A and B are shown apart, each in its own frame.
Chain A
Amino acid sequence: MEKPKLLIDGKRCDGRAMNELRPLKIQAGVLNKADGSAYIEWGGNKILAAVYGPRECIPRHHASPYRAVIHCRYLMASFSTLDEHGRSGPNRRSIEVSKVIKEVFENVVVTEKFPKTAIDIFIEVLQADGGTRCAGITAVAVALADAGIPMRDLPCALAVGKIENEIVVDSGKLEDNYGDGDMPIAIAPRNNEILLLQMDGMFTKDELRKAFELAYAAFPKINALQVEALRAHYAVKKDEVGL
């Protein structure tokens, strides 16, 4: 396939500016049985996140006497891309993504409060449009808060990309597939520490610096939408009990 033109007249292929996010919507508490849940639509991404726990750890030998263990399962649905029918179940990519997402939440969840238990995180990518792990993390943070699990912070995530010599935020699928670099970052907004960082592509030191600059300018916008989603969900509940 011909490489599509990713930069047209100083704009990106979908008309966005370099530092512009795609439309982003988050909804908290969308499932009945899960202890906490969230649904995120970010560009063409449609992703469900659910949290169970703290509950009995299965298999039991995974349990720790010191803290809750976090299990994370990130999966892409077999119909989630325009490509051929995908195979269901985990593959090497999804296993790696699950591991790095788990590590984000091991950092912020107050696991030492719940020894011998497990907190199970499920991320189902129903439709994928680039940046699914970042959208997943952003949704999981809301789902954990919805589950009432104590956290030190509400992490959020974003992928920064490189297209020719431009650094862009929130790469879409085309930019991810045909661009010159991709760098998913997750942070804890309270101190801006990096909880997840992956990168492939050719970046110079200055380009990395620029990438962080753009990412840190965008994180507060994402974080505000997470907080808004939680607020909206619990505002409804308040009315229901007539307070």
Chain B
Amino acid sequence: MEILDEIKKDYIIDLMKKNKRPDDRGYLDYRPCTVEKGIFESAEGSARVKLGKTQVVAGVKIEMGTPFKDRPEEGVLSTTAELLPLASPTFEPGPPDECAIELARIVDRGIRSSNTIDLESLFIEKDKVLMVFVDVYVLDHDGNLIDASALAAMAALLNAKVPKIEEGKLIKAERIDNLKITQKVVTCTFSKIGSQIVLDPRLDEEKAMSARLTLATTPEHVCAMQKGGKGAFTSDELINLVDVSFEKGNELRKLLD
């Protein structure tokens, strides 16, 4: 496996030098992307995202629970990601590894730091708050799981309805109000391949990249960032990607309407 990856890597780095990508996309183009909301009835909110041949689903469950001790007046948001073994030969069964945890925490950070869910609005009464669980399941891995997962999570949250509350209890069968969402957060992930920076890497491009950079944006702010991989970026490269992320982020936001 490793030898094949090395050969393919050289081929892709060469291709980049000739100003080409393996699927003839522009450097800053997304693959075709679709978002479907409300694909599962069992979850309070759900969505499926297909980004090229990458496919992820997200489910939102809303439950009654107790707040964290240091935040007694706020609801709870919990985000996880599962790299299912059926999605890739390299994903193994077992507890989430560092890649799954990093993926979930990037998605979480974007939603949390932008107050996309107003956690104070989830307060019911003393020691009683709503808990929102966002779980992302990766079904098919062809690169850029971060953007696909963040988009699926956001779509599932927009789709989520809060069950009726009676005498401090949730009536799961009756879903009334939409979950209060203040804005749409999306992420743009870039790969550095050789000296070229490309948006939305495919899996073969990810194998050839030295480093990865994700910017989560709302229409006016960058609300989370994460660099990954052993390579490096310069601060100028990063600043230049801010405007690109706003522009491409708006394209993704349209898919969420």
User: Interface residues, chain A, CB within 8 Å of chain B?
Assistant: 1, 83-84, 92-93, 95-96, 98-100, 103, 106-107, 181, 183, 188, 192-205, 208-209, 212, 216
What residues on A are CB-neighbors of B22 within 8 Å?
Answer: none
> How far, in Å, is A156 (CB) from chain B's closest CB?
14
Q: Complex Cα distance A203/B232, Å?
A: 21
Q: In the complex, are the beta carbons of B232 and A204 less than 8 A apart?
A: no
Residues on the A chain within 8 Å of B101, using CB:
92, 95-96, 99
**Residues of chain B having any CB pair with chain A under 8 Å:** 69-70, 98-99, 101-102, 104-105, 109, 112-114, 213, 218, 220-235, 238-239, 242-243
Q: What residues of chain B lie closer than 8 Å to A203, measured between beta carbons?
A: 221-223
Selected contact of B227 from candidates A95, A192, A196, CB within 8 Å: A196
Measured in the bound complex, the distance between the Cα atoms of B101 and A120 in whole Å is: 21
* Cβ–Cβ < 8 Å partners of A183 in chain B: 225
CA of A183 to CA of B225, assembled, Å: 8
Contact A194 B98 (CB under 8 A): no
User: What are some 13 contacts across the A-B interface (CB < 8 A)?
Assistant: A95-B101, A103-B227, A106-B230, A183-B225, A196-B227, A198-B225, A199-B226, A200-B113, A202-B222, A203-B221, A204-B220, A208-B239, A216-B235
Cβ–Cβ contact B238 & A197, under 8 A: yes
- How far, in whole Å, are A204 and B218 apart by their CA atoms in the complex? 10
Interface pair B235/A92, CB less than 8 Å apart: no
Q: How far is B233's CA from A192's CA once the two chains are assembled, in angstroms?
A: 9
Contact of A198 among B114, B223, B227, B243 (CB under 8 A): B227
Query: Closest approach, in angstroms, between the C-beta of B145 and any C-beta of chain A?
Result: 15
Partner of B235, one of A98, A192, A200, A201: A192
Of residues B98, B229, B238, which shows the largest number of chain A Cβ atoms within 10 Å of its Cβ? B98
User: Mostly helix, strand, loop or mixed at chain B's interface?
Assistant: mixed
Contacts of A198 in B (CB 8 A): 225-227
Given contacts A193-B233, A209-B239, contact A201 B113 (CB under 8 A): yes
A194 & B224 in contact (Cβ 8 Å cutoff): no
Given the interface pairs A83-B70, A205-B243, the reply to whether A92 lies near B113 with Cβ below 8 Å is no
A212 proximity list for chain B (CB < 8 A): 235, 238-239
Q: From A100, A199, A204, give the contact of B224 (CB < 8 A).
A: A199
Among B102, B213, B218, B239, point to the contact of A205 (Cβ < 8 A): B239
Q: A99-B101, A194-B234 are in contact. List 9 more A-B contacts (CB 8 A).
A: A96-B105, A194-B233, A197-B227, A197-B233, A198-B226, A199-B225, A205-B222, A205-B239, A209-B239
**Is A193 a contact partner of B242 (Cβ separation < 8 A)?**
no
Across the interface, which residues of B come within 8 angstroms of A84, CB to CB?
A: 69
Residues of B within 8 A of A192 (CB): 234-235
Question: Are B98 and A103 in contact, CB atoms less than 8 angstroms apart?
Answer: no
Q: Whose C-beta in chain B lies nearest to the C-beta of A111?
A: B230
Give the complex CA separation of A107 and B223 in angstroms.
26
**Residues in B neighbouring A100, C-beta threshold 8 A:** 102, 226-228
Closest to A107 in B: B230
CB <8 Å contact, A200 and B233: no
A118 to chain B, nearest CB (A): 16
Residues of A within 8 A of B230 (CB): 103, 106-107
Report if A194-B227 is in contact (Cβ < 8 Å); known contacts: A98-B98, A107-B232, A208-B242.
yes
